[in-house]
Structure 1
Amino acid sequence: MEHQLDYLLAHYGYFGIVLALVGGIVGLPLPDEIVLTYVGYNIYQGKMLYALSVVSAVIGALTGITISYLLGIKLGSPFLKKFGPKIHITEKKIERTQALFNKFGPFLLFIGYFIPGVRHVTAYLAGISCLGFRKFALYAYAGGVLWIFTFITLGRVLGHDWKKAEHYIHPNGGLLVILVVVLVFLVFLYRKRKKRSL
């Protein structure tokens, strides 16, 4: 994997980050968090610039999730069920994400990036359920920026130990999601109380 990422970044530079994340978010079997932490490691080594890397990753992720959303609107559920398995979006992932989407609504677009196998489906479901673009963009884009910042920074901080990020991603992913959900809920309560006091 490291050699493939080296090739990608050596030959395509920042544009390689964009390509990898567009493909990964749409549903290609690319390990997005590993790509981001490896980019962070390259920043640590001085091979890439932090700001340009984050901007490139944001462009890639937001483009990918917007394409997924538009596909959901235009082609609907039959497209996802027919072509999803070809890009590793299985019926089980769709059902699991649908249950979460029904429970959390648009908040899932925000936290879905941190749940492996869910971020690839949330935007399709948002499009299929005809969620308005403004609401979609608010949650999906904010979540994407936080996700990118988290994993690029993690790779940069870990430095030579960037591969350890894999251990933080999967075992602790649930904990991270819970922390994000709690944070979002607290912000929501704060805004609600502030509106009532006005």
Structure 2
Amino acid sequence: MEQIILDIIEFLKQFSYFGVVLALTFEFIPAEVVLPMVGYWVYEGDMNFWLAVLAGTLGGTTGPLTLYALGYYGGRPVLVKYGKYFFIKEEQIQKADDFFEKYGPVVAFVGRFVPGVRTLISIPCGMAKMNIWKFSIYTFVAMFPLTTLYIYFGMKLGPHWEKAAGVVGQYMLPILVVVLIVVGSIFIYKFMKKRNKTESI
């Protein structure tokens, strides 16, 4: 299976940056494989770093939209029945659903930094009919730093780009902590602002 995925990515390379977008649009191809490989192409001089990051971020945004649409229009019964064709297991759907129930719409952003939840969090967002523009913005903003990290380490590791996912994984917990602090600060600020406005009336 892994070799098939690598062959697909190599095939899409001929389409340059658009190929990167396409590779990430297909959700069954892990970003953890695509992006470090793109970093290796940057290392070889076949692509510009920042254009590759932009293409990766766009692809990392359009891909989740397909799962969002499945959740929005199909709902859980359709996903359970046909999810296997998208390499989606029912227990994975349940895990993402539980995460959404616990943390709400903000998981469209925070969930991108959580292994095991990152890909499938789009499904409960769609099932909850979350605003598509808000979902897209949250996803894009979250995917930018992740894409940058994966491509950067893929580039730095060169021929050993396969190790990039493990290296990025070491940074994931600190990144998640920073993300939670930022998100928490925003919520506190909004809450205090709303309370002050109410008290002034």
TM-score tier after normalising by the smaller chain length: 0.7 to 0.9
Instruction: Name whichever of 14-23 and 104-113 sits farther off.
Output: 104-113
TM-score (norm 1): 0.81
Give 1:81-96 correspondences, 5 Å limit: 81-96=80-95
Match for residue 10 of structure 2 among 7, 23, 41 = 7
CA contact (8 A) 2:153 2:167 kept: no
Q: What residue identity is the alignment partner of 1:4? A: D
Q: What residue identity is the alignment partner of 1:12? A: F
Within 1, Cα distance between the matches of 2:9 and 2:187?
41
CA contact (8 A) 2:58 2:140 kept: no
- 1:76 alignment partner in structure 2: 75
| Aligned residues between the structures | 194
Instruction: Name whichever of 39-48 and 169-178 sits farther off.
Output: 169-178
Within 1, Cα distance between the matches of 2:84 and 2:116?
12
Structure 1 position 88, deviation (Å): 2.3
* Cα pair distance change 1:21/1:74, threshold 3 Å: same
Structure 1 position 123, deviation (Å): 1.5
Identity of aligned residues (%): 32
Structure 1 position 23, deviation (Å): 0.3
Structure 1 position 151, deviation (Å): 1.7
Give 1:21-60 correspondences, 5 Å limit: 21-24=24-27, 28=28, 30-60=29-59
TM-score (norm 2): 0.80
Q: What residue identity is the alignment partner of 2:20? A: I
Cα RMSD for the two superposed structures: 2.8
Within 2, Cα distance between the matches of 1:157 and 1:104?
35
Structure 1 position 185, deviation (Å): 1.9
Within 2, Cα distance between the matches of 1:126 and 1:194?
27
CA contact (8 A) 1:106 1:139 kept: no
CA contact (8 A) 1:42 1:156 kept: yes
- SS of the equivalent of 2:85 reads helix
Which residues of structure 2 form unaligned runs of 5+? Answer: none
Structure 1 position 165, deviation (Å): 1.6
Structure 1 position 193, deviation (Å): 4.6
Give 1:1-198 correspondences, 5 Å limit: 1=3, 4=7, 7-8=10-11, 10-24=13-27, 28=28, 30-170=29-169, 173-190=172-189, 192-193=191-192
- SS of the equivalent of 2:115 reads coil
CA contact (8 A) 1:5 1:35 kept: no
CA contact (8 A) 2:13 2:20 kept: no
Q: What's the CA shift string for 1:124-162, capped at 9, x where partnerless?
A: 211111112233223222212232223222323444443
Structure 1 position 170, deviation (Å): 4.7
* Cα pair distance change 1:158/1:195, threshold 3 Å: farther
Within 1, Cα distance between the matches of 2:56 and 2:38?
9
- SS of the equivalent of 1:119 reads coil
Larger Rg belongs to: 2
CA contact (8 A) 2:93 2:120 kept: yes
Within 1, Cα distance between the matches of 2:167 and 2:10?
25
